[in-house]
Structure 1
């Protein structure tokens, strides 16, 4: 008996089936990559988050502005940090009670300049996303329910009485 006669031929359909399975598996992984590699399948959640936030995020007493984009969050041990980009931050600050209605955005009773000496302000440890550009303004408020809310937001480099448009903000609070 010859050596060639002792070998079995692999059916062609088996090879085609393996290629189809590999393509479907690879395509599915690519299609759902955000859901596979982010906590809870939420592309907004940063690595290390221990709690999923709802689709509409209530950050520090008010929902994020309707035009908020580039949203990222980190949740750990009851603390929440959210970063986002928006033109509606002044309205958000009023709705959240961080800045009383009618008060100047840069009233030193409610906030202060954030100075780092660097061209950017690093995000809190573990929060993913884009860093804030200086200058920034920081708000520190204790809500009526006792929750501490801290907001850091980018100020305009051209106008001393305005925020960037759009501005990036970081909101930190306990849930």
Structure 2
């Protein structure tokens, strides 16, 4: 009964105002800590999926500039059916990868092959790139899937391109074909 003279003692006749502010703050801090640990773990676990450069899921880690609408290969846009698009930009240099079934039209639009020429004409495309059937190639820094051999390569003063060729015939591309375009940004 020594404490019965204190105002906050039970039975003192005054209404109980609930927990003290210190207890409330302590409980709040513990609750925040308990919730922060699993949330932080989930963010760490899925950080590659949550944080892309420029908020663009197509950008590969380490890219220092976003992809423009028309890229360096003759200012051509990506084909309308382009999928699995990935790019890596570093110091004005861009590596771009995509899959499309509209490769002949893209090669004409981008200026790698004249409109009246076949993309399989040896004077425009080179099939001597050292990449055997089903071997893959992915430039350093570029994420995603590499091109599978055999490939045809095309080049201009502003850009170069590798396109997957059919392993069964020399006058067709894979359907659809993966493309890797390399160019310097102006």
TM (norm. structure 2) is: 0.72
Residues 60 and 96 of structure 1 are in contact (CA less than 8 Å); yes or no, is this contact kept in structure 2? Answer: yes
Provide structure 1 residue ranges, at least 5 long, that are not aligned to the other structure.
2-7
1:19 is displaced (CA, Å) by 8.5
Q: Which structure 2 segments of 5+ residues have no match?
A: 3-19
Query: What SS does the aligned partner of 1:50 have?
Result: coil
Q: Of 55, 64, 79, which aligns to 1:65?
A: 79
Instruction: Quickly say closer, same or farther: Cα 1:79–1:33, change in 2 above 3 A.
Output: closer
Written as runs of structure 1 = structure 2, the 5 A alignment for 1:55-134 is 56-61=69-74, 62-113=76-127, 114-117=129-132, 119-134=134-149
CA distance in 2, matches of 1:97, 1:50: 27
Count residues in correspondence.
Answer: 162
Paired residue secondary structure (1:94): helix
Distance 1:34 1:57, change over 3 A: farther
Task: Render the CA deviation track for 1:90-134: whole Å, top value 9, x for unaligned.
Answer: 111101111101211111111210233463232111111101111
For residue 39 of structure 1, report the CA deviation from its aligned partner: 1.8
Seen in structure 2, the aligned counterparts of structure 1 residues 162 and 117 have a Cα distance that, compared at 3 Å, is: closer
Report if aligned partners of 1:86, 1:168 keep a CA contact under 8 Å in 2: yes
Give the structure 2 partner of residue 5 of structure 1.
none
TM-score, L = length of structure 1: 0.77
Establish whether residue 139 from structure 1 lines up as the match of residue 128 from structure 2. no
Give the strand-richer structure, 1 or 2: 1
Structure 1: 4+ residue segments shifted above 3 A? 8-11, 13-26, 28-35
CA contact (8 A) 2:150 2:167 kept: yes
State the structure with more CA Rg.
2
